[in-house]
Structure 1
Amino acid sequence: MTWWIAGGCALGAVSILVVAWRRAHATTGAGLAIVTLAVMTAALISVGSALPARTEAVESGGRVVEVIAGITSSASVGQDGRLWFEAQTASIGVRGEPRSVSVPVRIGVEPGDGFDLGAEIRVVGEAAATDAGERSVLVIYAGEAEIVQAAQGVFGVAADLRQSFIERAARLPEPGAGLLPGLAVGDTRAVSTELNDDMRTTGLSHLTAVSGANCAIVVGAVFWLSALCGCRRGLRVLLSAAALSGFVILVTPEPSVIRAAVMAGIAMLTVLIGRPRAGAGMLALGVTGILLVDPWLAATPGFALSAAASAALILFAPPLARGLARMLPAPLALAIAVPLSAQLVCGPIIALFAEQQSLIGVVANLLAAPAAPVATVVGMLACLAAPVPLLADLLAASAWLPTAWIATTATTAAQVPLAQVLLPAGIPSALFVAAVSAAIGVVLLRRPSALSGRAQSWWRWSRRCSAIVLIVVSGGGAGLAALDGPLAPLRTPEGWAIAACDVGQGDALVVRSAGDIALIDTGPEPDALRSCLRSLGVERIDLLVLTHFDLDHAGGVEAVEGRVGEVLHGPTSDQADQRSLDRLEAGGAVLHDASAGLHGVLGATSWRVLWPQRDSVAFPAGNDASVVVEFAGGEVPRSLFLGDLSAAPQRMLMRTAQLTGGYAVVKVAHHGSADQEPGLYEAVHATLAIFSVGTGNDYGHPREDALALLEATGSHLLRTDQQGRILIGMQAGELQVWTESSVGGPG
């Protein structure tokens, strides 16, 4: 199909060219159509030529494979604690019998040295196929990894310089030590999870890795320094381009870095050479060229954001600065216009794929703006000065101070109430953010001169409508902020004993008895859990149960660090799991390795652990070793929380725990997956069945089989994806249920 479409585009371009030639002139529209079809043809040929190898590689999905590949990107530590990077395979296949196949893959290995761009590696691990639109054909979770050949030539020199600089920065104090390599050379391995989250919340995450901002800083610094030395404009441009090329090599010329360099280079050079009006055309040409070389970038959010931010710098920032200059000094107006224009243009794109919208990003960027160029340029010089240790130490120490300022700005600004708002990712949110962004732009822009009477009338009407939009949104936002903040507990019924928080695709359930609080899992991310706990009026967690350490159950643990009394946790599987526990313990929590038989009291109710069995080797750490806990007594209905158990451990649980009927509530295992044991739910015979699940999740949870199974046992089904937060309580011996969509009970 790809080749047929490519052929059709090529035929269309030739046909238009022939018609235009026979008419002895070519219109602008004809020329644009020819260029468009030619570009589509080239892109489709590029994609089509890669399809056979990709199709062959996809067959390795779900198998353990041996891969020999060359690393094509920088490495970063993921949330699972692995070191992740992109690579181009030379061969792939079953162990000992690899076949020559060249496809892009993404590889995760245990952290170590030597995984630099240009290095050749051999890994053995489980391969998983990706979606068709992704650049990487496979994701490989490596169990074994070795460096076959270290990075050579200029890449080897750059890797040595980076490693020396990272070690030098690590000797500096926090805050700032871990962030400095990210600002200067794009290495984010030392940036803590907490600081990374704060940078994202405050809209400063573009500084933690190589982005257009970093490239623009390098170009601007060299252009300015060469101007001080009396160089002519042409030489300044050449020196800036050379410096940008060297910077790209130093920080690893992976696709995202090259993309950022091209975008920033185009945007900055059009301004620096005094031809800002040519910027839009040059940007369009650059985007086209990048997509011809690498069509897969068309499906990446980063490419769209980079192009949009560059366009904002060229087209939107100058008139926005002139509008702000009506109220502010010109230098300050320009300083505000640059991050604000990027924020307004990129906001709708971000809303398509991310739930967070930063409200403090402009302020945080203004505070960080004076420090970012100094930290980037001086840090890069410290990296280059590695052969002269004394000079490198001096420069690294000098770069540390502005870096510490940026880290402190991110940490402080992230704690400001309403630093960000949560919107469901998708087209409706993108349209809403676009409308608000457009309204802000219209209000701030200065009225264009030389408008006709009708145009002036249209402009006044637009300004009034925009002002109304902003007033309505601001008023609504303030009301929602109050309801989600200090007034949040007033919206919650007093009689609840069990709460299922709506945290998306994950578990976070709260049990309350006589003022004491138990939290079972934390959901996938902290902000949703914070919001739920705030609405419930929960300040401290007396008992935290981490059933297992998958992201959808333990990803939000940061939200409760420092305010937990005791922790019951399942088996750990790697260092990342242990680090989560260490942070809880450092915050004052007492840790308990949960196993069947452990029991205790929460307020007026009692709890006991039913699973896993102590020292069991039958089920590894993860879903099947989830902590299963029962609560009963006092005002808490008898309830059973099954974590993510699959059918096999559910059958074992039936035999070891001797479950009997009479449960009021059961939290259905694994978000209602199809892998359930009917006998367990028949034995439990719960009145209410909770499905903690995210709207439109990729797993198809809850499955129809699971829903039918619970209905067959007589359970009343409650789903967080349909009903939002769910509250359950007892009144006069009867169960009461409150949800965000309805109020009532099963009778």
Structure 2
Amino acid sequence: MAEVRVVDLRLAVPVALGWVTTVILVGVPEAQVVAVPVLWAFAAGAVALTLRFRVLGVVALALVIAALCATAVALQAPSRAPAVLVEASASGGRVPVVVRATSVITPDARSWQGVVVSANDAPMDVPVIIFGGAPDRRTDIGTTLTATVRLEATDAGDHSAFILFPDDAAEAIRDPPWYLEWANHLRRGFLAAASSLPGQGGDLLAGLAIGDTTAVDQSLGAAMKASSLTHLTAVSGANCAIVIGLVLLAGAAIGLPRGARVAISLLVLVGFVILVTPEPSVLRAAMMAAIVLVLLALGRPVRGLPVLSLAVFALLLVDPWLSRTYGFALSVLATAGLLLLASPLAERLAAWMPRPIAFGIAVPTAAQLACQPVIVLLDPTLPTYGVVANILAAPAAPLATVVGLAACLILPVVPPVGAALCSLAWVPAAWIAAVAGFFAGMPGARLPWIGGPVGVGALIAVSGGVVLLILARGTTRRVTALVLALGMVAYGSSVVTTRVVELLGRPAGWQVAACDIGQGDAVLFRSGAETALVDTGPDPARLGACLDDLGVERLDLLVLTHFDHDHVGGADRVIGKVDRVLVGPSGEPSDDELVQRFEAAGARIDHASRGLTGLLGSWRWTVLWPPGGSGRAVEPGNPASIVTSFEPVGDCPAGCLSALMLGDLGEDSQRRLVPLGSLPHPDIVGVAHHGSADQYPETYSRLGATIGVIGVGADNGYGHPTSEALGMLAAAGTTVVRTDTAGLILIAPGPDGRGVEVWTAKSPEDAAPPGDDGTQR
């Protein structure tokens, strides 16, 4: 008789409800005041009913856990919003702060994390993310720094409460305390030793062993992501299990009693967390390990899912804002997938292959089934070779982890032995890097999928079907197999029919898209789940077709560079679907009426002038024109076009492009803009005024952009783009792509995370402008 697996959900379901409660309340702070007493009232009633109806025990437990989570949110929320920071954020003023670094800061870091411990001498403990202001030398975790900053409050659910923009480089005023410095010393030595080894294996080794990815460049990071191997550099359960297992075995070998082995293991666990840094996946793994050790000390049985549930609950109480972080969610889901699916899947596969191979396939498959519905929110594609890449990399990962960690610990004590261990650990690290590079370079490494909630729902359905296929028996399994098979046929048909060439040819990781909307501009910027649009073009229908084609349902930011019809005529399509709108000076009553319509539909309106800045995913956007203050006035229209730069400042494992959009800025205004300085050297420039002759040549030579995008209509009657403008761009070394001959234009980082990849809806021959050979870079 086949063994019947029973899954204990008595704690998992209540904790899941607590997690959902936490997610809602950290994102909707105003609901906390009502939610806490209501949940406690329901919990008290459920507990009372449980005394008579024991079947309600799980319901009572769920309500108690939800009430505890809500209480944790309500108690911690005020400390994240001290008055001095809230006031500075609202006023736009600057405030001196003292920050304790919670991440390693390299001199070239675009952003780093910390905790504000005081502002205007007021003590506090507020998690923040800092953009810019990196000191000129490597700064370790725990270092105390001071800076004068401008602040912006983040969304309520973000783990960081504020974003800080320092005026200058932050100044270190205090070294890390001793209980952190020992780990900093080990990390520095190991990173230096690993980085001295050849190739990408040396760059990757520190990430595999201790989670330090500062040596991983964009090319390697992009390859690891494309091949679904990024999780190997996120220290988690496997690493904790190896470390604690070795400690327990060593303790048993020398005859230590159980209590002593557990106590030593807990101390080692704390040190391990400090060494590898308390990222969400590390916290989840360490909390589970601590619970297991306590259960072992008490002689109680250990069951995986209840341990995971208890760990999640404990972490939500300590830091409710973890509930909304992708790292935490993916770590929990991957662990749940392994606990629930890996063993049944391995048992099924073992009927056709040796058990070790079956287990090697089952582990990455289970994790990917559990995590992919969340990953698709960040990247609406599916990794074609992810499971195969993980199967090939899996045997090497523990070797790199164990030997690399040993090298890290031994290097300061016996340097020659530590160096030898580094060289030994380099071998599996180099293998993993080679696997990542091989599969990332394979054709069709990422398959297109539906973006947004629809895509998530579809993938949940597919994952659920696969799970049912694994666990079900008899007729249910046959029906599920049939449904999945039909679904695969339907999906395959959709890929190989009318749009196969386009969908597979499009760069899945596009970051900039120039819509083909005729004579006008409409350029999208996408970073993760956030999207901005610069201008709307003249036609709502054509703009809508472009947005629908690219799966864009809502805009986080809309920049209306000026109020000419070819830049705002399509605005009706996005009114009510925009969170924030930047506008310049208005010249007609109709301009003000349009702004009022956006505002009435719920959009935040900002009147843009030089210096205004903000974030869009991993980009920082900055307004460079028009000038503000009491300087010489700029007339509405083309001379006052909003000029916006998009510069990468966040974590961009696949590479981040940079861009400068010039609107319809003419020669005179460009002459005034260039001497102001701070012009970036972007990958992409949005060529001013559709390539008219009204240009300042030095603008483009100073920018030195790789790609120049021109939004222009065929047979437009204006002669755009002019030979003069094309000549300026050619002299600056800028390759031109234009919507009249190329159609829709998608621009992405190159395959290695560097360079620029351009995709056009029309063939390169059709897309090539006069005098250009059509080469796409």
The TM-score with structure 2 as length reference comes to 0.62
Q: What residue in structure 2 maps to residue 116 of structure 1?
A: 140
Q: Which moved more, 1:351-360 or 1:366-375?
A: 351-360
Q: Offset at 1:575? A: 12
Secondary structure of the corresponding residue to residue 203 of structure 2: coil
Query: Which amino acid in the other structure matches residue 100 of structure 1?
Result: P
Q: What residue in structure 2 maps to residue 410 of structure 1?
A: 436
* 1:389-420 deviations in Å (ceiling 9; x for gaps): 11111111111111111111111110111211
Counterparts in 2 of 1:228 and 1:350: CA distance versus 1, 3 Å: farther
Q: Offset at 1:158? A: 0.6
Query: Which amino acid in the other structure matches residue 68 of structure 1?
Result: V
Secondary structure of the corresponding residue to residue 197 of structure 1: helix
Query: Which amino acid in the other structure matches residue 620 of structure 1?
Result: S
Given candidates 460, 465, 481, the residue that maps to 1:463 is 481
Gaps of 5+ in 1: 449-455, 490-500, 511-519, 533-549, 556-569, 578-582, 585-594, 596-607, 650-660, 668-685, 695-723, 732-747
Counterparts in 2 of 1:238 and 1:42: CA distance versus 1, 3 Å: same
For the residues of structure 2 that align with 1:129 and 1:25, how far apart are their CA atoms?
A: 46
Given candidates 383, 387, 390, the residue that maps to 2:416 is 390
Given candidates 104, 120, 131, the residue that maps to 2:127 is 104
For the residues of structure 2 that align with 1:335 and 1:502, how far apart are their CA atoms?
A: 29
Task: Kindly indicate whether the alpha-carbon contact (under 8 Å) linking 2:389 and 2:436 is maintained by their aligned counterparts in 1.
Answer: yes
Q: Offset at 1:64? A: 3.2
Residue 134 in structure 1 maps to residue 164 in structure 2 = no
* 1:506-540 deviations in Å (ceiling 9; x for gaps): 35699xxxxxxxxx9997689x9xxx9xxxxxxxx
| Aligned residue pair count | 569
Q: What residue in structure 1 maps to residue 205 of structure 2?
A: 180
Q: What residue in structure 2 maps to residue 721 of structure 1?
A: none
Query: Which amino acid in the other structure matches residue 305 of structure 2?
Result: A
Q: Offset at 1:276? A: 8.9
Given candidates 607, 611, 618, the residue that maps to 2:676 is 618
* 1:479-520 deviations in Å (ceiling 9; x for gaps): 58952489x69xxxxxxxxxxx9986635699xxxxxxxxx9
Residue 506 in structure 1 maps to residue 512 in structure 2 = yes
Counterparts in 2 of 1:324 and 1:254: CA distance versus 1, 3 Å: closer
For the residues of structure 2 that align with 1:405 and 1:624, how far apart are their CA atoms?
A: 35
Q: Which moved more, 1:343-352 or 1:431-440?
A: 431-440
Q: What residue in structure 1 maps to residue 117 of structure 2?
A: 90
Secondary structure of the corresponding residue to residue 151 of structure 2: strand
Q: Which moved more, 1:372-381 or 1:472-481?
A: 472-481
Counterparts in 2 of 1:617 and 1:441: CA distance versus 1, 3 Å: same
Given candidates 433, 443, 456, the residue that maps to 1:430 is 456
* 1:413-464 deviations in Å (ceiling 9; x for gaps): 1011121124353211112222222333444x2655xxxxxxx333332232
Given candidates 41, 64, 87, the residue that maps to 1:59 is 87
Q: Which moved more, 1:619-628 or 1:106-115?
A: 619-628
Q: Offset at 1:235? A: 7.5
Q: Offset at 1:295? A: 0.5
For the residues of structure 2 that align with 1:216 and 1:285, how far apart are their CA atoms?
A: 18
For the residues of structure 1 that align with 2:524 and 2:64, how far apart are their CA atoms?
A: 52
For the residues of structure 2 that align with 1:268 and 1:356, how far apart are their CA atoms?
A: 39
Query: Which amino acid in the other structure matches residue 41 of structure 2?
Result: L
Q: What residue in structure 1 maps to residue 465 of structure 2?
A: 439
Q: Offset at 1:610? A: 10
Task: Kindly indicate whether the alpha-carbon contact (under 8 Å) linking 2:208 and 2:400 is maintained by their aligned counterparts in 1.
Answer: yes
Secondary structure of the corresponding residue to residue 176 of structure 1: helix
Q: What residue in structure 2 maps to residue 15 of structure 1?
A: 45
Query: Which amino acid in the other structure matches residue 60 of structure 1?
Result: A
Task: Kindly indicate whether the alpha-carbon contact (under 8 Å) linking 1:629 and 1:642 is maintained by their aligned counterparts in 2.
Answer: no
For the residues of structure 1 that align with 2:338 and 2:53, how far apart are their CA atoms?
A: 40
Counterparts in 2 of 1:327 and 1:244: CA distance versus 1, 3 Å: farther
Q: What residue in structure 2 maps to residue 367 of structure 1?
A: 392
Task: Kindly indicate whether the alpha-carbon contact (under 8 Å) linking 1:172 and 1:397 is maintained by their aligned counterparts in 2.
Answer: yes
Q: Offset at 1:466? A: 2.3
Counterparts in 2 of 1:266 and 1:403: CA distance versus 1, 3 Å: farther
Query: Which amino acid in the other structure matches residue 678 of structure 2?
Result: P
Q: Offset at 1:6? A: 1.4
For the residues of structure 2 that align with 1:55 and 1:622, how far apart are their CA atoms?
A: 36
For the residues of structure 1 that align with 2:66 and 2:644, how far apart are their CA atoms?
A: 57
For the residues of structure 1 that align with 2:265 and 2:618, how far apart are their CA atoms?
A: 46
Counterparts in 2 of 1:174 and 1:221: CA distance versus 1, 3 Å: farther
The TM-score with structure 1 as length reference comes to 0.64
Task: Kindly indicate whether the alpha-carbon contact (under 8 Å) linking 2:259 and 2:297 is maintained by their aligned counterparts in 1.
Answer: no
Given candidates 62, 74, 90, the residue that maps to 2:103 is 74
Counterparts in 2 of 1:33 and 1:160: CA distance versus 1, 3 Å: closer
Residue 286 in structure 1 maps to residue 318 in structure 2 = no
Percent identity, aligned pairs only?
Answer: 33
Secondary structure of the corresponding residue to residue 133 of structure 1: coil
Counterparts in 2 of 1:298 and 1:55: CA distance versus 1, 3 Å: farther
Root-mean-square deviation (Å): 5.2
Residue 663 in structure 1 maps to residue 726 in structure 2 = no
Q: What residue in structure 2 maps to residue 42 of structure 1?
A: 71
Secondary structure of the corresponding residue to residue 620 of structure 1: coil
Query: Which amino acid in the other structure matches residue 44 of structure 1?
Result: V
Q: Offset at 1:275? A: 9.2
Secondary structure of the corresponding residue to residue 165 of structure 2: strand
Q: What residue in structure 2 maps to residue 381 of structure 1?
A: 406
